Amino acid sequence: MDNKPKSTLPVLVEPPKGAQPHGPLGHGYFLGETKRQQALPMRESLAKIKNWFRANSLWVMAYGTGCGGIELRPLTTARFDFERFGMAMRPTPRQSNVIIISGYLAVKSLKRVIRAYEQMPSPKWVVGLGSCTINGGMYWDSYNTINRLDLYVPVDIYIAGCMPRPEALLAGFGELMKMIKRGEANGWNHYLENFDWYKENQKKVINDWNMPDYNW
Amino acid sequence: MMHILDEIRERFGAEWQNEQRPDLLQIGVQAKTIVPLLTWLKAHTPFVQLTHLSAVDWIEDGEFQLTYLLTDPKAHVSLMVCTRIDREQAEAESIHALWPQAVTYEQEINEMFGIHFPGSPRQGVPFILEGWNDIPPMRRDFDTVAYMNSHHPSRPGREHTDPRAYIGKVFGERGYLHDDD
């Protein structure tokens, strides 16, 4: 019998290893798709074509959580113009496949982020923008902001800085596109494989959990 | 015309008064005179606009300070009416009958400092925080670092540098660089 007092400390473990590896080039589970179907071989060339298409039509959800949101606006305008890379801002999660966590994330916003992320159609990618998403940044001891984004949603790429300028964002998106083409940006698979781990972490910080529990 | 601060002192009594700038006056009054004083100010003086209502935690004195910032919109002069209330029995009279927007300020102060305004409509309704289950976070006895360490884990590898020690190490005991250096 374990008599150790129950700690309120969050469990600081890495997500469980040994889950089913995702497909060779990043094609993963879709909703309702079983692992058996997943195991069916998919021709690599077809996967490459799919990934090329995916990488060249990143639709970003127009949602800014922190001060970094201000760096996203110039991207859409003439000077930096990310539409030349096939990117566009979309108003709802159902129409987008990239969500940018732009800076500090309050627990209240985290709830909305999780809700939005789960509504986005797969494949989907998360970009952590700024130091705050990495380890809390200058708000590391603020009472109401999270310190590590990757405990709650799978982050595919971080763009460090406080704040990173639009050039840095473009470089980060370029890197994300390369990762997608190589089939390495698999955070959405990671989320499904370690769904319980993510849910446990999320429910540790969100006290009034009144969202639906999906059963993927 | 008598100066507004002198007139307030004569009518309602004041503990202290200060003219910080020509357009920013301060006066400290007893908590029980707040509602009559603000009613009189709104009815009989140009200070008709409630610009802000804020709280300060004076934990050493065991008191909260409430500051009602009124503005004369034509002359662009502001008047800070300050009062102290007990920290243990943190209760203050609501002024939402005078200015409806005070409801929001009182709701936020109630959430962040735990000061209760009896009769104010949205007391206890969550405003900014969601599911908060600790003492109100703006009270100074709330240890924000301990709260973060126990609730929000950091990524390993973060280094902490005490600013005072670091500045002393870099710039010497004086703490700053002089022209002669």
Structure confidence at residue B173 (pLDDT) = 66
Burial class of residue A75 in the structure, from the number of CB atoms within 10 Å of its CB (0-12 exposed, 13-18 middle, 19+ buried):
buried
Query: What's the ipTM?
Result: 0.77
Tell me the CATH number of domain B4-155, given options 3.30.460.80, 3.40.50.300, 3.40.50.1970, 3.40.50.20. 3.30.460.80
Assess if residue A24 is contained within a domain: no
State whether B131 and A206 contact (CB < 8 Å).
Answer: yes
Please, which pLDDT band fits residue A47 given cuts at 50, 70 and 90? confident
Assess if residue A1 is contained within a domain: no
Q: Is the pLDDT of residue A42 over 80?
A: no
Structure confidence at residue A125 (pLDDT) = 93
Assess if residue A126 is contained within a domain: yes
| pLDDT tens digits for range A120-166 | 988 899 999 999 998 888 888 888 899 889 899 999 999 998 889 99
How many domains in chain A? 1
Please, which pLDDT band fits residue B113 given cuts at 50, 70 and 90? very high
Highest mean pLDDT, choosing among A19-28, A63-72, A193-202, B18-27: B18-27
What whole-number distance in Å separates Cα of residue B48 and Cα of residue A23? 68
Residue B90 near residue B138 (C-beta atoms within 8 A): no
| pLDDT tens digits for range B19-35 | 999 899 999 999 999 99
**Close Cβ partners of A78 (under 8 Å, ≥ 6 residues apart):** none
Q: In chain B, which residues have their Cβ closer than 8 Å to the Cβ of A144? A: 129, 137
Assess if residue A182 is contained within a domain: yes
Assess if residue A27 is contained within a domain: no
Please, which pLDDT band fits residue B174 given cuts at 50, 70 and 90? low
| Residues above pLDDT 90, as percent of chain A | 37
Structure confidence at residue B177 (pLDDT) = 59
Q: Is the pLDDT of residue B115 over 50?
A: yes
Give the predicted TM-score (pTM) of the model.
Answer: 0.79
Mean predicted lDDT score pLDDT of chain A? 80
- Residue A42 at interface with chain B, using a CB cutoff of 8 Å: no
Window from A29-33, A68-72, B139-143, B157-161 with minimum mean pLDDT: A29-33
Q: Is the pLDDT of residue A197 over 60?
A: yes
Q: What's the average model confidence in pLDDT over A170-176?
A: 93
- Residue A151 at interface with chain B, using a CB cutoff of 8 Å: yes
Q: Is the pLDDT of residue A190 over 80?
A: yes
* DSSP annotation of B7: H
- Residue B161 at interface with chain A, using a CB cutoff of 8 Å: no
Structure confidence at residue A183 (pLDDT) = 80
Burial class of residue A8 in the structure, from the number of CB atoms within 10 Å of its CB (0-12 exposed, 13-18 middle, 19+ buried):
exposed
State whether A146 and B150 contact (CB < 8 Å).
Answer: no
Cβ atoms < 10 Å from Cβ of B54:
16
| pLDDT tens digits for range B118-173 | 999 999 999 988 888 889 999 999 998 899 888 888 888 777 777 777 777 777 76
What whole-number distance in Å separates Cα of residue A8 and Cα of residue A3? 15
Q: Is the pLDDT of residue A15 over 60?
A: no
Q: Is the pLDDT of residue A48 over 60?
A: yes
Domain CATH number, residue A176: 3.40.50.12280
Please, which pLDDT band fits residue A14 given cuts at 50, 70 and 90? low
| pLDDT tens digits for range B83-103 | 999 999 999 999 999 999 999
What whole-number distance in Å separates Cα of residue A52 and Cα of residue B116? 59
Supply B89's token pair: 């029995």
Which residues constitute the domain of residue A149? 58-205
Q: Is the pLDDT of residue A22 over 90?
A: no
Assess if residue A15 is contained within a domain: no
Residue A100 phi, psi (nearest 5): -105, 120
| Closest-CA distance of chain A to residue B50, Å | 29
Assess if residue A72 is contained within a domain: yes
* Closest in A111, A143, A148 to B154, CB measured: A148
Assess if residue A141 is contained within a domain: yes
* Closest in A140, A143, A148 to B137, CB measured: A143
Q: What's the average model confidence in pLDDT over B169-180?
A: 66
Helix (H) or strand (E) holding A180: helix A166-182
Burial class of residue A204 in the structure, from the number of CB atoms within 10 Å of its CB (0-12 exposed, 13-18 middle, 19+ buried):
middle
